[in-house]
A and B are shown apart, each in its own frame.
Chain A
Amino acid sequence: MSKEKVSSIPGFPLEGVRAIELSEIWAGPFCGTLLADMGAELLKVESVQRIARGPVNPPKRSGAYPNGDPGERPWNRQSNFNAMNRNKKGITLDLKTDAGVETFLDLTSTADIIFCNYARSVMEDFGLGYEELKKTKPDIIFMLMPGYGNTGPYRDYRSMGMAIDAISGHSFLRGYPDLDHSTNSLVHHPDAAAAVNAVFALTTALIYRGRTGKGQFIDMSQAESFMTHMGEIFLEYQIRSKPRERQGNRDFHYAPQGVYPCKGDDNWIAISVVTEAHWKSFIRCIPLPNLRDGKFSSVKSRIANHDELDLTIEKWTSDRDRYEVMDTLQSSGIPSGVVLNCGPDTYGDPHLNEREFFQIVDHPDAGIFPMTGPVLKFQSNSGVVLHNPSPCLGQHNDYVLGDILGYTQEKMDDLASDNVIGTVPLPGSDLGGSRRASMEPVHRESMSQQTNIDPNTNDSKED
C-alpha cells in the first residue's frame, strides 16, 4: 500500500533519503534541519498531546512572535521553532496509542533513517525500540542521542545543552578570569556540536548501508561528541599535569588579543596580534609612542604587561568606528573583526548578505520574514537554496498518511477523531517553558493550573 515516494529535491546530496525525526528544542531538530537542507525528506513527528513550540497560551504580547502578537495559533508562530525547523514536513502522532505506533511502523517501512533526542528509554517505552523497528525495516538506520549515551551509569540522566557544557569541561573554561564561575552565562553550544555530529553519523551510516546493504543502531553521546572538540585540553592536562584555567579573550601563546570598545553604544572590535610580523604592522597602524616601549617588544613581555597594553589599545579604538578599525587592521593583515550582534548587525553585514545568508520565507501562519538559511553549500546545487518554512503543527498529516502511506480518508478521519493525529494542541499539552522574555509584564491566566502538574512527572526531553 505504500507508494514509497520520496519528494526530495533533485541534485541535493541527500536526494531520495527519508528521515524521521522525534526531537525537541535544538540538538535533534537542528540535525533534522541540516539533513533537510541537504535535500532529505525530513518528517518531524510531534503530537497534539505534547507541545514543544513555546507555551500554548503565551502572554498577549511577546517578542517571540511576529510583530509581538502570538495570534490565533501561537504554536505555529513561535520564533525559536520557526527558526529551527526549516525545510521539514510536520506530522502529529500520539505514540502512546496502538494506532499511533501502527502508523509509525508503517512509516518506518518507507524510511531510511530514524533519530531521536529524547531520553534513552522513550522509544522503547512506545514499543519502538531498535529490535521492533528492525523487524519492520531490516536496514533501518536508527540513532538515539541522549545526553550521555546509551550505556553507563548516566544513560538515563536527563540533560540539556548547558548541562553538557558544564560536565564536559567547557563551562569551566568560560567566563571572566577575574570573576567567579557564578557569573557564567548558560551556553547550549553542545547541542549544535551534537547536531552536526549526528548528521555526520547518519550520513556515514548511509554510506555504509550503500556499500554493504546493512542498517544499524547508532549510539551517540551528546557529551562525548562535544568533548572531541576539546581534545587538546585533555592532552594538555596529561602532558603538563595541570588542568587548563580560564583565559577570557586572551591566548596563552601570543599578545595582545582582546575585545576593545569602539565609538558608539556597546560597539566592540576583536583584535588578535599573533605573530611578530602582526605586531610590527600593528604598531604602524596605531601610531602611539608608548606601544614602542621596551616592555611590549617581545611576546613574553607583551603577555606579562597585557593589562597595560590593553589600556593603550583601548584609548586608540574607543573614539573610532568599529568597521573603520577592522578595515585598517585587516588591510595590514592583522586578524580583527567587528563584534556583531545577532540582530541588526548580522542582518546588515555586507559579507553575509553577498553570500545570501538570509532568505525571504513565506510562512503560512507567521507571515513573510527574512530567515537564516542553509550554511552547507555545494557547488552541484549552487543557485538553488532550499528554504521552505518550518511546518505548522500537523501540516503534512494528509500528505504523509494519505500520499505516502496510502491511508483512506476514512482511516485518517478516525485517527483524527481519536486525537491520534491533529493540528491543534489538546488541553494539558503545554510544556509551559518559555525561552523568551515577554515584551511587557503580563497576566498569566494559565499558570496556576500548570503548577498543579504532578511533580514526579519528569520532562522526558533531551536536548
Chain B
Amino acid sequence: MALFLDLAKLTEGADAIDNGQILNLGVMPTVPYEALDGYLVIDLSDRLAGSFCAKTLGLYGSEVVKIEPLEGDPLRKLDHTEDETDESDSPLFLHLNVGKKSLTLNLDTAEGKEILGILLQKADILVETFIPGKLASVGFSYEGIAKHNPGLIMTSITPFGQTGPYKEFKYTELTVFAMSGAMHREGLPERYPLRYGAEVAQYYAGNSAAAATTSAIFRRLKTNVGDWIDISIQECMAGHPHQIGRRAPFIYSGELDPRTQPRVSAAGAREPYAVGTFRCRDGHVSFLPLGPRMWPNIARMIGREDLMYDSRFNDPDKRSFNRKALEDIFQSWLDKRTREEIFIEVQKAGVPGSPILRSDEVMENEQFESRGFFTEVDHPTSGTLKYTGDPFRLTAVPYKKLMPAPTVGQQTNQVLKDHLQLSSEDIASLKEKGIV
C-alpha cells in the first residue's frame, strides 16, 4: 500500500541528516551486527523457543553452532506429512536457523558426548530445551559443566520450567498458551476459547530468554561468572502485560475477565462504539479510540461533526446506550473506503486504527520496504527468499551479511577443525563410526 503522509521528510540512504540528528539510519540492509562478536553459542534446542533464542543471539554477531542428530533436526521435515520424498527444509526451519552452523553429532555415543563436552568447555552460551533433568542424566549438569567452564551461561527453555509438578508435561503452542491465562478470554462468549494466530507464545519466550542471556553476559563482563537461566514458556505468557493487566483487577476487587463481545470489551466499555475490528471496502480495519477525548476526532474524521451536537450522542453514556446507531453510521463511512484510505484518515485524525494485512500485503508494505526490513538470502536448496530482518538496529555497530540456514551437518568439518583442532583424518574416522 502506498501511504505517504510525509514524503518530503523521507530519509534517504544511510547517514541521514534528520532534524539535526546525524544517525546512521535509513535504507540499509537489515543484516546481523557484530555486537556479540566472538561469543560461541551451542544450540542444543529442539522446537521453536530455544532455536529462536539462539538465532537472535546469532543475528547480533555470536557464532551459533547448532547440534543436530545425524538425520537432521525434525523441524526440517515439519511439512512432510504427505510427501516423504520431499528433501526441502520447512519455512519454519529456514527462519529459525538463519546464520547458524550445523554440526551433526550422535549424542548416544561416548565420542559424541566427549565432543559436546569439549565444545561446552569453550562455549560462552548453551541454549538447551531438554526435559528438566535429562541433560544432567547424560552427564551434562550445569554444575558439572560450570566446574570446567565457570563463565558458561546455560539458558534452559522449557514449557513449564525446571521445577514444579508440570515440569515434565508435553506441550504444543496450543496447550501451553491455554495454560498461560491468555486463551480463556479470547473469542466469543458463546463459543470455544481461541489461541492467537501464530506460534507467538514460543517466540515470545525464546525472545525473553535471549534478553535474559544477554543480561547474564553483561554481568559476566564484570564478574567472569556465568549463570543458569530457567525460562518457562508458561510463565513468560502468564507474566505478559495482557495477563498481568487483567489479573490485577481480579486480585484488587474480584473483577473477572470473561470472554465478551470484542467490540464491547476492548476499550473498557468507556467509549464502546468505534472500537474493535470493522469491515471496509477491501478488507478489515481495527480501531481503539481510548476515552471520550477521541470522540471529536472520530466525528470529524467521518465528516459528521453534527453528531457532536446530536442529542443521541452528545455524552459518553448516550453514546454507549446508542452504540448500535453510532456503529451503523461509522460502518457506512467505512463501507465506502479502502483500508489504505482509512489508514490515511485515522492518522490525520489522531485516532488509533490500522488495516489488517495478509502476509503477502505485509511484504509489499512500503514502510517495511523503505527500511529494507525483508532481506534476501540465498539458500542452496530453497533458493533466494526474503527473510525478516533484525528486530532492532544498533546504529554504532558494523554489520555483515546474513547467512542462510545450514544444510544438515554443513559446517561439521569446520566446527571440529576450528574448535576441537581435529584433523581431516580424525573427522573421517568419526564419520565412519557414525558419530558425526
Report B-chain residues with C-beta under 8 Å of the C-beta of A207.
Answer: 35-36, 214, 217-218, 221
Cross-chain contact A13 with B197 (CB below 8 angstroms)? no
Docked-complex contact A268 and B193, CB < 8 angstroms = yes
Instruction: Give Cα distance in the complex from A453 to B292, angstroms.
Output: 10
Once the chains bind, are A274 and B194 in contact (CB under 8 Å)?
Answer: no
B252 to chain A, nearest CB (A): 5
Closest chain B residue to A437, Cβ basis: B269
Instruction: Give the chain A neighbours of B218 by CB distance below 8 A.
Output: 13-14, 17, 203, 206-207, 210
Give complex CA distance A316, B347 in Å.
51
Among A100-108, A332-340, A391-399, A401-409, the one that faces the other chain is: A332-340
Establish whether residues A151 and B25, one from each chain, have CB atoms under 8 Å apart when the complex forms: yes
Contact yes or no, B370 A151, CB < 8 A: yes
- Place the interface of chain B in its size category: 35 or more
Shortest beta-carbon distance from A334 to chain B in Å: 7
Which A residues touch B297, using CB under 8 A? 455
Decide if B286 is an interface residue (CB 8 Å cutoff). Answer: yes
Whether the Cβ atoms of A83 and B95 lie closer than 8 Å is no
Contacts A208-B394, A254-B81, A355-B235 given; indicate if A153 touches B60 (C-beta within 8 A).
no
Task: Kindly state whether residue A189 has any CB partner on chain B within 8 Å.
Answer: yes
- Asked if A434 and B268 make an inter-chain contact with CB atoms under 8 angstroms apart, the answer reads yes
Q: Are B252 and A342 in contact (CB under 8 A)?
A: no
With A201-B394, A342-B250, A375-B208 already in contact, the answer to whether A433 and B270 are too (CB < 8 A) is yes
Q: How far is the CA of A64 from the CA of B248 in the complex (A)?
A: 8
B267 at the binding interface (Cβ < 8 Å): yes
Q: For A187, list chain B residues within 8 Å (CB).
A: 186, 196, 242
B78/A204 in contact, CB under 8 A: no
Question: How close is B33's CB to chain A, nearest CB, in angstroms?
Answer: 8
From 358 to 392 in chain B, residues with beta carbon under 8 angstroms from any chain A beta carbon are 358-363, 365-368, 370-371, 373-374, 382, 385-392
Q: In the complex the two chains form, what is the Cα distance from A435 to B19 in whole Å?
A: 35
Of B10, B198, B367, B395, which contacts A219 at CB under 8 A?
B395
Q: Which residues of A contact B276 (CB under 8 A)?
A: 182, 184-186
The answer, yes or no, to whether A427 is at the interface (CB within 8 Å) is: no
Given A153-B4, A200-B214, A333-B170, check contact A357 B238 (CB 8 Å).
yes
Interface string of A49-80 (1 = CB under 8 A from B): 00000010000001111111000000000011
Q: Report whether A169 and B359 are in contact in the complex, using a CB–CB cutoff of 8 Å.
A: yes
Q: With A151-B16, A337-B179, A342-B181 as known contacts, state yes or no: A435 contacts B164, CB within 8 Å.
A: no
Q: Is A172 among interface residues, defined by CB-CB distance under 8 A?
A: yes
Taking the complex as formed, is A425 at the interface, i.e. its CB lies under 8 A from any CB of chain B? no
**Which single member of B191, B227, B285, B373 contacts A227 (CB below 8 Å)?**
B373
Which B residue sits closest to A201, measured CB to CB?
Answer: B392
Give Cα A336 to B411, complex, Å. Answer: 38
A412 within 8 A of B: no
Any A CB within 8 A of the CB of B429: no
CA distance A94 to B85 in the complex (A): 66
Q: Is B254 an interface residue (CB 8 A)?
A: yes
Contact of B293 among A225, A230, A340, A432 (CB under 8 A): A432
In the complex, the answer to whether B7 meets A352 with C-beta atoms within 8 Å is no
A218, A300, A355, A457 pick with most chain B CB within 10 angstroms:
A355
Bound-state Cα–Cα, A253 to B172, Å: 12
Chain B residues in 8 Å Cβ range of A154 = 3, 367
Q: Are A153 and B5 in contact (CB under 8 A)?
A: yes
In the bound complex, do residue B291 and residue A233 qualify as a contact, i.e. CB atoms below 8 Å apart? no
A378 within 8 A of B: yes
Residue in A189, A218, A236, A346 whose CB lies within 8 Å of B394: A218
**Contact code string B15-27 (vs A, CB < 8 Å = 1, else 0):** 0101111110111
Minimum Cβ distance to chain A for residue B303 (Å): 13
Q: Are B396 and A380 in contact (CB under 8 A)?
A: no
Q: Which of A129, A272, A372, A458 contacts B21 (CB 8 A)?
A: A129
Contact A346 to B181, CB < 8 A, known contacts A214-B396, A333-B170: yes
Contact with B along A359-374 (1 / 0, CB 8 A): 0000000100111111
Taking CB as reference atom, which chain B residue is nearest A379?
B228
Which residues of chain A have C-beta atoms less than 8 A from B121's C-beta?
none
- Tell me the nearest residue of chain A to B264, going by C-beta: A437
Bound form: Cα–Cα A265–B433 in Å: 59
Q: Which residues of the other chain, A, contact B232 by a CB distance below 8 angstroms?
A: 355, 375
Cα distance, A337 to B233, chains bound together (Å): 13
B contact residues around A153 at 8 Å (CB)? 3-7, 10, 366-367, 370
Question: Which residues of the other chain, A, contact B181 by a CB distance below 8 angstroms?
Answer: 340-342, 345-346
Is A117 an interface residue when CB atoms closer than 8 A count as contact? no
Partner of B265, one of A129, A163, A185, A337: A185
- Given A354-B163, A370-B251, are A220 and B391 also a contact pair (CB < 8 Å)? yes
* B contact residues around A171 at 8 Å (CB): 197, 277, 284, 286, 356
Q: Closest CB-CB distance, A34 to chain B, in whole Å?
A: 7
Cβ of B278 < 8 Å from any Cβ of A?
Answer: yes
**Is B356's CB under 8 angstroms from A219's CB?**
no
- A229 on the B face (CB < 8 A): yes
**Is B236 an interface position by the 8 A CB rule?**
yes
A436, CB-defined interface residue at 8 Å: yes
Contacts of B242 in A (CB 8 A): 187-189, 192
A176 within 8 A of B: yes
Q: Are A193 and B204 in contact (CB under 8 A)?
A: yes
What's the Cα separation between A350 and B336 when bound, in Å?
53
A-contacting 9-mer, from B64-72, B86-94, B105-113, B413-421:
B86-94
Expressed in whole angstroms, the minimum distance between the Cβ of A207 and any Cβ of chain B is 5
Q: Is B403 among interface residues, defined by CB-CB distance under 8 A?
A: no
Evaluate contact between A185 and B266: CB separation under 8 angstroms. Answer: yes
Contact B359 A243 (CB under 8 A): yes
* Cross-chain contact B91 with A232 (CB below 8 angstroms): yes
Given A129-B21, A172-B356, 10 more A-B residue pairs with CB atoms under 8 Å apart are A66-B252, A84-B241, A150-B25, A165-B286, A210-B221, A339-B193, A354-B164, A433-B293, A450-B292, A455-B350
What are 16 residue pairs bridging A and B, where the CB atoms are less than 8 Å apart in the complex? Answer: A64-B255, A83-B245, A151-B371, A166-B277, A184-B286, A210-B222, A217-B396, A221-B392, A249-B194, A253-B79, A268-B193, A343-B256, A344-B256, A352-B238, A433-B290, A447-B292
